[in-house]
């Protein structure tokens, strides 16, 4: 059991040197002393056990090991490679203890994957799964969102929940709006399983898009034609009838007085 901080640091340093020497020896044996021509992977950063760096270091180890598979003869070498980057804080103590049992062939982890899962559970966010549960149940298909967008957002959260198929299907249906559910439940048979629900939602998306395009084309075909501007004519009043009335009307005869030379009577 390691108690003093100096003992922990010394054990960690010795473990890192041992791992480096074992990897170097393995590489030289595989290549006959010649340098390897595989792509060089960036070494993961040292891990001090902080929650915000847990996911990053696990991913970095995955990438580094995958790109340098020829450097590891077995899972034990991969495990020691990962443990060599655990330095500082709680991770250093945890890594030193695990390195000791791995070198002694008494570790409970027989694969790198199992070791990384333990690291995520030990140092990762304790409420990460619960947070994913909350986010998944809060996810809703909002107005203006397509079925493809809703499904993509849903699938981003499913991997972190640990839900089985039935629970995922229930959460997916709960997030659909009532208008969509009415269309689905009006069909002859209801979808069963996540894949069938996704297929039905995809078909509804296609129908909605097709209907919108058809509606737009009908609207454009029924648009009124623009009217031509025709010159306006000013009508002049017809006075011919008025003039004819006075021209055809019989005018009374007038007589002049012979004695007074005045109109109106005959003397």
Q: So what's the pLDDT on residue 226? A: 56
Domain locations in the chain? 5-123, 128-221
Q: So what's the pLDDT on residue 232? A: 53
Closest among 177, 137, 131 to 153, alpha carbons compared: 137
Q: Report how far residue 128's alpha carbon sits from residue 123's, in angstroms, rounded to the nearest whole number.
A: 11
Q: Count CA atoms closer than 13 A to 93's CA, side-chain side.
A: 10
Q: Which residues pair with 86 in a beta bridge?
A: 47
For 186-207, b/e burial (b = at least 16 CB within 10 A) is eeeeebeebeebbebbeeebee
pTM: 0.41
Asked whether 184 and 212 are in contact (CB, 8 A), the reply is no
What confidence tens digit (pLDDT) does each residue in 192-244 have? 888 999 888 888 888 877 777 777 777 776 656 555 455 555 555 555 544 44
What confidence tens digit (pLDDT) does each residue in 23-78 have? 545 544 544 544 445 556 678 889 998 888 888 889 899 899 988 888 898 999 99
CA 49, 50, 55, 61 torsion: positive or negative?
Answer: negative
Q: Report how far residue 13's alpha carbon sits from residue 1's, in angstroms, rounded to the nearest whole number.
A: 16
């Amino acid at each position: 059991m390691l108690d003093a901080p100096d003992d922990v640091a010394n054990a960690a340093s010795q473990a890192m040197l041992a791992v480096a020497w074992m990897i170097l020896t393995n590489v030289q044996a595989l290549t006959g002393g010649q340098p390897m021509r595989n792509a060089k992977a960036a070494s993961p950063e040292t891990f001090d056990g902080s929650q915000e760096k847990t996911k990053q270091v696990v991913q970095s180890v995955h990438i580094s090991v995958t790109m340098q598979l020829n450097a590891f003869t077995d899972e034990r070498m991969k495990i020691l490679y990962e443990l060599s980057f655990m330095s500082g804080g709680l991770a250093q103590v945890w890594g030193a203890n695990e390195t000791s049992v791995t070198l002694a062939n008494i570790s409970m982890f027989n694969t790198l994957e199992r070791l990384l899962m333990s690291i995520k559970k030990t140092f990762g966010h304790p409420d990460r799964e619960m947070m994913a549960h909350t986010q998944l149940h809060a996810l809703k298909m909002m107005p203006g969102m397509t079925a493809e967008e809703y499904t993509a957002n849903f699938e981003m959260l499913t991997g972190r929940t640990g839900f089985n198929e039935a629970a995922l299907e229930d959460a997916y249906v709960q997030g659909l709006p009532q208008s969509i559910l009415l269309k689905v439940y009006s069909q002859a048979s209801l979808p069963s399983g996540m894949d069938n629900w996704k297929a039905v939602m995809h078909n509804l998306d296609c129908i909605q898009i097709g209907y919108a395009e058809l509606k737009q084309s009908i609207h454009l075909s029924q648009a009124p034609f623009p009217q031509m501007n025709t010159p306006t004519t000013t009508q002049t009043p017809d006075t011919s009838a008025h003039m004819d009335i006075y021209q055809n009307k019989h005018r009374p005869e007038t007589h002049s007085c012979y004695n007074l030379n005045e109109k109106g009577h005959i003397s």
